[in-house]
Amino acid sequence: MSVFQKVVKEIPDGTILYTPVMRKPFEITKKADLIIFSVGNKTKIPIPKAIWDGIPKFLSGQDWVDIGSGYNQAKEQSLQEYIDNHPSRGTQHSSDANYVASVLEHLKLAEVIHRRPSRLKLK
């Protein structure tokens, strides 16, 4: 089962999760080939199926990988850099990886370090 399929199957719409370090709440909804994170009242962050399904390959064979960004710029070889550089995206989003990492941890697909610098690795 792909990561995207696992999210769709195992996480109901409206589920609230929290980012690894800041413990910022966000809500998950699904629409077509997108997993959408709702942060606060207005911010919607769509993550396409292609990104979800490429995560195991990106993390495969690596030990701990940085999750996010530093100074609003994705760290080299981080999950955020993978998301930002994916062809399905067009712009950089400096904290999207924090939401993705929380979902991966919730699904027990990854272990996450909950202090700075936050990191993850496949289980």
10-residue mean pLDDT profile of the chain (123 residues): values are 97 97 95 94 92 96 88 84 83 82 98 94 94
Q: Give the pLDDT of residue 86.
A: 87
Q: Give the pLDDT of residue 75.
A: 85
pTM tops 0.85, yes or no: yes
Q: Give the pLDDT of residue 3.
A: 98
Q: Give the pLDDT of residue 95.
A: 81
Residues 6+ apart with CB under 8 A from 55: 3, 79, 82, 100, 104
In the chain, domain spans: 3-122
Query: CA angle, 39 as apex, 107 and 122 as ends, to 5°?
Result: 25
